[in-house]
Chain A
């Protein structure tokens, strides 16, 4: 009798759920760790056998290759090369995200247009671009469009644009003096514009008179920039491209690689964003649109003030995913020799650099990019999410 009671109160350890849970987890972690250790031991032994270094010292060795469109010299170390690669990845990703969002929203709205032709054109765009590999789009723009532009000797010149297979060149800015003064004044201008913006908002909230925030804030910023420009001794000048024998000088140049990657990423990502925007707009209750119509909003104001703000709330998480995809897809620059971080890594490996470390560093770079975008999108999402009380 006593034994029975004892048993029913406290099950033996092999039937005790708490003991079992802990035992299973220990066994699981042990197995995973053992497997990882096995792989790692193999890796180290293989590297040893092949005489490949196992440290990250290779990063401080001279790169041995030059990077086009930068003042990177082949004697600088690999770490600096990777930094330039990461910078190029960021450059193409940020511009790509910005432009893909604009194009995506326009196409997404167009898919719901009351105009049949607009609607069908947008659908055609989405359905054809979404169903083709992004690598194919990038290669098409690179091999079939940009590289087949006329050579530099017969470049097409429209006023200030020079178009050739060496790149697309337009007017740019050229630095003539030290930029310090302008930078300081510009920073002050941003702060001042933000302050004016907040002041107008507060005034609008208090009195209801039109805020004209964009006008006020923009005006302040422009005034500051102008003042800084004059005070700094006009440090920037417009530089127009000039065609030379083998290349253009001056101006702002988009290399064919950069342009192809950017265009490919924008077109592909925008087709996905358009679908998200369309779905989000459809998710806004019909009553909202009807109410806006009843109050007498114009169709543009209805979109601007009623539909899009509510649609954005739904769209932000999936659009954030598309941004992440765009950053990750920018690694396809490796296929067209755009010197982004994957390309730099690929060159490093083919020059005999240690592949395991190089790949780990590469993954680390992308994880940093992904995490920062995820962080920003989470912040935006939290700010825009409905405050439920």
Chain B
């Protein structure tokens, strides 16, 4: 008797046919498929056309952008001493080089993971498209600056980034771990260049976009380790630790950021031993931002911890790893990898939320935009629309760029697909 299994018939997989529509069909299908859609299209087109006309007219004809032009340096750095601006440029060169190398190494790692091997090249067009929002913001800044020097410097920074990325692509993956340390070192170096050896400490005159970016970056960097600790504490098997961590996280998540900023602004000095100096308002604001963000980072990391399968811990235990090593070598790396996109999202939130320090009296980007309309030459001119639109555009560029990057990361890491 023949007991051979029946081989499943090999059915060739056929991709759905490419549909190429003539423009007429496309319009019919996408805009006028039903009478309701037709009406909607006409109404919306009229509305959009009108809005576009109004906005376009405002941006290109009516708006008096001279307030932004005159105050460009104020918007970027506010009271930062003009003689020391070279420090910021130098810092940006260092950062561009470091992040270029980092990007190169990451690209190479990704390619090796996908089995490509060897340094290749991504099309520069893709890179440009990915950086689109940032380039738009930088372009607008340069357009207003109308300075050859500034344009050259920005182009030089971009060139340094490109060269560094190329160099990074040559680094073999087994050396990749050095790149991470290098980037951290470069950040410290940039900070030292700006603040030390006669530089300006960040709480004595930073403002504008510089303060916004610094508060966001320092905030997320400091709150990250705190958040990881809180998340681990919340998942601890020790009830006392768990309860303390849950209380902290839920308390902070239940109140608005502004109440914590009030706490920092009006109350933080009271917690220090009597007689000690109260830290600067900038420091207190940063402390409040860190306390706030740590709770949110903790919840994000907790999500990642929960997504690590139990078998991983059990396997580690079976191999005889101590609980500390299990966490550090097995659980955390997998958990953190899964939550990178969400962490970028939290960074975007923080970037936008730094605008709240305006309320306690710091002059970051939004505050400067409001303040410059009160300069004697612009007072009573009513140019607040121009400055707020400009500030909004800068915020939008940064956030939109990062949110697209995080979506890309999400796809690449396959989060939510496992």
Residue of A nearest to B44 (CB): A117
Q: Are the C-beta atoms of A42 and B270 separated by less than 8 Å? A: yes
Is the C-beta of B239 less than 8 angstroms from some C-beta in chain A? yes
The answer to whether A328 and B255 touch (CB under 8 A), given A127-B400, A133-B353, is yes
Interface-centre pick from B37, B270, B366 (highest chain A CB count, 10 A)? B270
Q: Are the C-beta atoms of A46 and B241 separated by less than 8 Å? A: no
What residues of chain A lie closer than 8 Å to B359, measured between beta carbons? 135, 332, 334-335
What residues of chain B lie closer than 8 Å to A114, measured between beta carbons? 30, 33, 37
Provide a sorted-by-A list of 30 A–B residue pairs whose CB atoms are within 8 angstroms: A21-B237, A32-B244, A43-B270, A43-B271, A47-B270, A49-B274, A115-B30, A116-B31, A117-B41, A117-B45, A121-B44, A127-B400, A131-B348, A131-B395, A131-B396, A132-B395, A133-B353, A135-B358, A136-B392, A136-B395, A140-B389, A328-B255, A335-B358, A335-B359, A342-B258, A359-B263, A362-B262, A366-B256, A366-B259, A370-B253
Q: Are the C-beta atoms of B399 and A132 separated by less than 8 Å? A: yes
Q: Are the C-beta atoms of A131 and B400 separated by less than 8 Å? A: yes
> B164 CB to closest chain A CB, in angstroms?
28
Is the C-beta of B403 less than 8 angstroms from some C-beta in chain A? yes
Q: Are the C-beta atoms of B259 and A362 separated by less than 8 Å? A: yes
Q: Is the interface of B mostly helix, strand, loop or mixed?
A: helix
What bracket does the count of chain A residues touching chain B fall in?
Answer: 35 or more
What residues of chain B lie closer than 8 Å to A130, measured between beta carbons? 399, 403
The answer to whether A355 and B267 touch (CB under 8 A), given A25-B241, A329-B256, A362-B259, is yes
Q: Are the C-beta atoms of B259 and A349 separated by less than 8 Å? A: no
Q: Are the C-beta atoms of A128 and B396 separated by less than 8 Å? A: yes
Q: Are the C-beta atoms of B254 and A133 separated by less than 8 Å? A: no
> A44 CB to closest chain B CB, in angstroms?
9
Is the C-beta of B138 less than 8 angstroms from some C-beta in chain A? no
Q: Is the interface of A mostly helix, strand, loop or mixed?
A: helix
How many Å lie between the Cα of A239 and that of B273 in the bound state?
60
Q: Are the C-beta atoms of B385 and A116 separated by less than 8 Å? A: no
The answer to whether A136 and B391 touch (CB under 8 A), given A115-B37, A362-B259, is yes
Is the C-beta of B352 less than 8 angstroms from some C-beta in chain A? yes
How many Å lie between the Cα of A139 and that of B352 in the bound state?
14
What residues of chain A lie closer than 8 Å to B263, measured between beta carbons? 359
Interface residue count on the B side (C-beta < 8 Å): 54
How many Å lie between the Cα of A118 and that of B259 in the bound state?
39
Residues of A within 8 A of B (CB): 21, 24-26, 28-29, 32, 39, 42-43, 45-47, 49, 114-118, 121, 127-128, 130-136, 139-140, 143-144, 148, 328-329, 331-332, 334-335, 342, 345-346, 349, 355-356, 359, 362-363, 366-367, 370-371
Q: Are the C-beta atoms of A115 and B31 separated by less than 8 Å? A: yes
Residue of B nearest to A48 (CB): B274
Interface-centre pick from A39, A133, A136, A148 (highest chain B CB count, 10 A)? A133
How many Å lie between the Cα of A21 and that of B33 in the bound state?
68
Q: Are the C-beta atoms of B267 and A133 separated by less than 8 Å? A: no
Interface-centre pick from A43, A144, A148 (highest chain B CB count, 10 A)? A144
> B287 CB to closest chain A CB, in angstroms?
13
The answer to whether A331 and B41 touch (CB under 8 A), given A42-B272, A132-B395, A367-B251, is no
Which listed residue (B267, B274, B370, B392) contacts A143, Cβ 8 A?
A: B370
What residues of chain B lie closer than 8 Å to A359, measured between beta carbons? 259, 262-263, 266-267
Known: A42-B270, A43-B270, A115-B30. 20 other contacts (CB 8 A): A21-B237, A24-B238, A32-B244, A46-B269, A47-B270, A117-B41, A118-B41, A132-B392, A133-B352, A134-B352, A136-B392, A332-B356, A332-B359, A345-B262, A346-B262, A349-B266, A355-B267, A356-B267, A363-B251, A366-B256
How many Å lie between the Cα of A144 and that of B366 in the bound state?
14
Which listed residue (A28, A128, A355, A363) contacts B255, Cβ 8 A?
A: A363
